[in-house]
Amino acid sequence: MARPAALSGFPEWLPQDRIVELRLLDTVRSVFELHGFASLETRAVEPIEQMLRKGEIDKEVYVLRRLHAEDGEADAGLGLHFDLTVPLARYVVQNAGHLEFPFRRYQIQKVWRGERPQEGRFREFTQADIDIVGRDTLAFHHEVEVALVMAEVFRALPCPPAVILVNNRKLAEGFFLGLGASDTAAALRAIDKLDKIGPEKVTGLLRQDAGLSEEAAHKCLQLASIRTPDTSFVDQVRSLGVDHPLLDEGLAELSAVVGAAAARMPGAVVADLKIARGLDYYTGTVYETQLVGHESVGSICSGGRYDQLASDGKSTYPGVGISLGLTRLLSVLIGRGLVTASRSVPTCVLVAVVDEENRRASDEVASQLRSRGISTEVAPKAEKFGKQIRYADRRGIPFVWFPEGDATHSVKDIRTGDQVLADPALWRPPESDLAPSVRVVASEPASPENKEIHP
């Protein structure tokens, strides 16, 4: 086999980086489960017509075909899912009779998009979603809840600080209506382009497409510039002198989200009134997330409230959800050297082998250590001890065990060189060495704020 090349857009990690990914996955799952979200996994494929309903993304779908397909096969017309929301909507309608509502689920899976690969954009990537889906109704407080769950996720993850930016569709729409906009969707689309095309062109769009006056367009830009870590945005919006009942509702909801977050986790959630979330069908709170110091990679965690996730004739299913781009986050952490794993294997102890005839004695020690939850390998070859120690060292395995008859077992910390007598039925490594640790590397290497994460 000639050396195969990597496939652009289909990231794969070396074992050491995969340990970082596992830590992200485990942390995310653990926080989701602490909050009572149930795990769900859906099949990788959906009928293509189902996925094309959103209209915009048809170019990005990967279609499946059996290599020797015949016409009319049952699996014809299937494509790989491009997100986890379309499958959730389908799953809820399909299984509504077996689910309890509000249905709280998390889902951590690969998704596929035929996009042009670039930093932060992949053709295959992992998303970690939570959604709360009601039948016919869904209380507003869940819009506060999902932001706080994700803020806890970021606090627990080995990564630079993240800020969840929130806005509210009712607030923006009410503001545009209060200004007499003829097309609030056009106004939203214009504001969404602010970072890309600048305030001057956005003003043009607001006047031309949304039917706003020069002064009203200016107020929209003022609104979009408001960003506060507390509820002080309310007074700033009020001072713009716009009135509308929908604006009042939006201000109250956004206050509730930001106020609760400020009380529980100061700084984690910020009101940012330019967040629009493009053309997605959100109807209340919307979320985006910036990794502080790495804003250029774009939002790593987004979502919002939608009044109609799905409907089956009898019922509609409103929901609120937020989706963490795990692969995007990981690619930043690894690509920019922001985290390191302490080793490339789960192994805590390598048991040396004195000679091949006595391999079984080493197997026995390994078995005793494993029975107490200590990840252990036995050296693959009865080489000189120096070579067996190098086997451990190259993988970052911290301890080498020397079985030398019942009374003289010893274990060596190969990082310090300390060697002590030890009983395989009793010895334990320090808790911090049991599993690989994942460390955030601060930009100033001497910073005391380096975050050490142990399992």
The DSSP element (H or E) to which 156 belongs, if any, is: helix 141-156
Of 65 and 428, nearer to its own copies (C-beta) is: 65
CB of 175 to its own copies, least distance (A): 27
CB of 112 to its own copies, least distance (A): 8
Full DSSP string of 233-266: HHHHHHTTT---HHHHHHHHHHHHHHHHHHHHST
Total Cβ atoms within 10 A of residue 365: 23
**Closest of 255, 224, 249, 237 to residue 170, by C-alpha:** 249
Of 25 and 442, nearer to its own copies (C-beta) is: 25
| β-strand partners of 258 | none
CA distances 103 to 30, 91, 138, 304, 321, Å, are: 18, 11, 10, 16, 12
CB of 212 to its own copies, least distance (A): 36
Q: CB–CB of 52/376 below 8 Å?
A: no
CB of 418 to its own copies, least distance (A): 22
3-state secondary structure of 32: helix
Of 94 and 232, nearer to its own copies (C-beta) is: 94
CB of 79 to its own copies, least distance (A): 7
Of 350 and 422, nearer to its own copies (C-beta) is: 350
Of 142 and 294, nearer to its own copies (C-beta) is: 142
CB of 80 to its own copies, least distance (A): 7
Positive or negative torsion for Cα 195, 201, 205, 211 = positive
Of 78 and 352, nearer to its own copies (C-beta) is: 78
CA distances 56 to 32, 60, 309, 339, Å, are: 30, 9, 17, 36
| β-strand partners of 45 | 80
